[in-house]
A = this chain, B = another copy of it.
Amino acid sequence: MAIYQATTSAPVNIACIKYWGKRDTTLILPTNSSLSVTLSQDHLRSTTTSQADPSFTETRLWLNGKEEDIKSGGRLERCLKELKKMRKERIEDKDHNAPKLSEWNIHVASYNNFPTAAGLASSASGFAALTSSIAALYDLNNFSPSSSAKPSAASPSELSLVARLGSGSACRSLFGGFVAWEAGSLPSGTDSLAVQVAPQEHWPTLHALICVVNDAKKGTSSTSGMQRTVETSALLQHRIKEVVPQRMDAIIKAIKEKDFDTFAKITTADSNQFHAVALDTAPPIFYMNDVSRSIISIIEELNRVSLLNTGHLVAAYTFDAGPNAVIYTEEKNVKQIIELVLRYFPQAESNPFPDPFQLFGGKQPAGTTTLPEGFNEGVAKVWETGSVKGLIHTKIGDGPRVLGEGEALLSSDGMPKTLA
């Protein structure tokens, strides 16, 4: 008999305008709009296979090969409920020959191709992959051209509403390119969704260098941290009401015009302001450490001399709820930045992450010996090897992909394949 299953992959996204604070913690409705860049799935992705079968006695989930308990009423169930509703209303109620997948339990297997050690938020790509794979299973997706015309198809924005219920920032991983999560104002949250500001083809030369920073101790979880900020920061409301709306308009304009200087200025300013309101929290929340700050000092100094020498900025840095830096830059500047980073942060021979040295023929280059004219070498010390655990060089990428049967994570018996 037929096997009903679908496999999709979804990307990681890194915010330029940060999401920090919920106005509704159950529906995951944010206090402000945010904007992100979708990173290439060629380097970082979550892959999920969903399978429905009348013989399944319960809903089951495997993350990276390990089965997880499914909290009833939890985030996965909330997403699944919405998708089953869509399946029933849009397909099963209209076509009585359509299999009643919405009445069957499902098995889900999900896998991140990046080590959790990276400390990269995997919940965004994870819930985006979950949502898109179930949508594909239910024939609700319009990711593949063939299905794009289907009246039953849900738009990525519609699916972003579902992914949002799993993890707020996941809604932004339903699109490639530059994505805005509009905060919305309805209590129902039906207007709190993701829209694409520009596709990746609009600005294909935008690259990202992730500096994976060694983290001494686990910081505050963003879920609890952001609500502590909402409750105690005297500055957050001003950020929400006065600062973010202006920055959203300005950065969207900068993206449409491919104005890197403005894009970089707003991105770095908003990263710093996010960490500022975290610090304005009681008790204060710290995510950046001395290594993070050295990366900031180096990039700020590089931008300072570049502005003097060329009138333009070279790079933008942004930090999420952890010490890792994400550096955005134009393709033509990536080599210089990698060499600069290596000068201050010597790397071990083996890099634990997808090869960051493609531009150097796969071999780790030496740290740069010639600094830009006027660059103040003393802005940071040379750190001990391993302070930056590794680098990931990637670029702007596309949205969820529907993958072939060959990439399925579940066997025909509904159990996870053992990955090589």
**A contact residues vs B (CB 8 Å cutoff):** 216-217, 234-235, 238-239, 242-243, 265, 268-269, 272-273, 275-277, 279-284, 286, 289-290, 293, 296, 300, 304, 378, 380-381
Contact = CB atoms under 8 A, between A and B. Distances in A.
Given A216-B381, A378-B217, A282 B272 contact: yes
B279 A279 contact: yes
> Copies per complex?
2
Give the interface SS of chain A, mostly helix, strand, loop or mixed: helix
A396 to B, nearest CB: 25
Given A234-B239, A234-B242, A290-B289, A279 B276 contact: yes
6 contacts: A216-B381, A217-B378, A234-B239, A235-B273, A276-B276, A276-B277
A279 B300 CA distance: 13
A218 to B, nearest CB: 9
Contacts of A275: 279
Contact of A268 (B239, B282, B304): B282
A319 to B, nearest CB: 11
A279 to B, nearest CB: 4
A281 to B, nearest CB: 8
Contacts of A242: 234, 238
B300 A293 contact: no
Contact of A243 (B234, B279, B290, B296): B234
Given A268-B282, A289-B290, A300-B283, A273 B234 contact: yes
Contacts of A300: 283-284
Contacts of A217: 378, 380-381
B280 A276 contact: yes
